[in-house]
Amino acid sequence: MAKSRPARRILYTQIHTAIGPLGVARSEKGLCAIRLDGNAAALKQELARRFPGAELVRDQAGLAGMAALVTRWLAEPAPGPLPPLDLGGTDFQRRVWRAIARVPRGEVISYTELARRAGNPRAVRAAAQACGANPVPLLVPCHRVVRSDGSLGGFGGGLPMKRKLLSREGVDIA
């Protein structure tokens, strides 16, 4: 009889930050989710969809270090390198997320520029969809991507949150 593999274990919790409550989760590979509304029940559902069969454990203590890191990332102008991440995604999505991660605080780029930086200038809509699929907004700062006309565009955390995050970085968009 074949030995069964133990279920993947994902820890999740809610943390309190300067921008409000966030849901965070990590796998054995790294941070795998940040939920901007802090809704732990919705985060658990999202994790169950993304990681079928995983053991989902709410664990405040087990995520204390990751919580401190996310909080520091929000508070400091130059928070240092990204922690280990477990993002999944397609090859193109990962290229988009790497390109977003290189956009400095206080700067924005357009979805068109993002598609170009991800290696496919014609894939503007796909680049925007990759932003929407980003499992760790803030650390992969998709709030720094705007429409070509300079307007905000979309954001999984809502446009007021996008505006708030950009404002904290010194970018004011009407």
Domain that holds residue 127: 91-168
> Do residues 138 and 70 lie in contact, with contact meaning Cβ atoms separated by under 8 Å?
yes
| DSSP characters over 59-89 | -TGGGHHHHHHHHHHHH-SS--SPPPB----
pLDDT of 3-30, one tens digit each?
666 678 999 999 998 899 999 999 999 9
Domain boundary among 20, 44, 75: 75
Known catalytic residues? Answer: 142
Verify that 95 and 61 share a domain, yes or no: no
CATH of the domain at 18: 3.30.160.70
| DSSP characters over 112-168 | HHHHHHTT-TT-HHHHHHHHHH-SSTTTS-GGGEE-TTS-----TT-HHHHHHHHHH
- pLDDT of res. 1: 56
CATH of the domain at 133: 1.10.10.10
pLDDT of 70-119, one tens digit each?
888 888 766 677 789 999 999 999 999 999 999 998 999 999 999 999 99
The reported pTM is 0.89
Domain boundary among 50, 75, 100: 75
pLDDT of 24-69, one tens digit each?
999 999 999 999 988 889 999 999 999 999 999 999 999 999 888 8
pLDDT of 138-162, one tens digit each?
889 999 999 999 999 989 889 999 9
- pLDDT of res. 93: 97
> Do residues 128 and 154 lie in contact, with contact meaning Cβ atoms separated by under 8 Å?
yes
N-term to C-term CA, the chain: 63
